[in-house]
Amino acid sequence: MNTIGQRIAYYRKKANLTQEELAEKCSVTPQAVSKWENDISAPDISLFPVLAKLFNVSCDELLGVENETPKVVPEELVDLSKVLLKIRVISAGGDNVKINLPVMLAEQFLKHSDIGGSDTFKNIDFAQIIELVKSGAVGKLIEVTSADGDIVTMSVE
């Protein structure tokens, strides 16, 4: 999905909306939506938050903005009391879960929750992620899309 039109078409279909339904929700004509999806024109900038909300994605995702690759800061500069582990889960069923925890709490949460029992999380080694964070990794660490369409991202800030 390289163009805004391709992304709009993809997310519209994923949300089980017709062009007519999307047009109605955005107060535009179905022809306008068709032009967006065919890259003849683009939505007004004021519609991006509306579209993002309808599609249950961020404006960055809708625009195709790629987050930076993870970076490593010197371990001695890492203050784990101030570092956040952010986990975002968007399920194919429409659930949208955001977890923002200080790393020290996240470590305990991940050890004692059944989040690791989910099929989406079965191949993620949370202990290794915590060790990466403790050694200074910051930025987006994981982005997983399951066969069921669930999307999981983990980042550290």
CA distances from 36 to 2, 7, 39, 60, 93 (A): 13, 10, 5, 17, 26
CATH 2.60.40.10 for domain 4-63: no
* pLDDT > 70? residue 67: no
Q: Alpha-carbon Rg of the chain, whole angstroms? A: 18
pLDDT at residue 122, rounded to an integer:
62
- What mean pLDDT comes out for the span 74-83? 71
Q: What is the pTM of this model?
A: 0.47
CB 93 within 8 A of CB 143: no
Convert the pLDDT of each residue in 12-47 to its tens digit. Answer: 998 999 999 999 999 999 999 999 999 999 999 999
Convert the pLDDT of each residue in 98-114 to its tens digit. Answer: 878 787 777 776 666 65
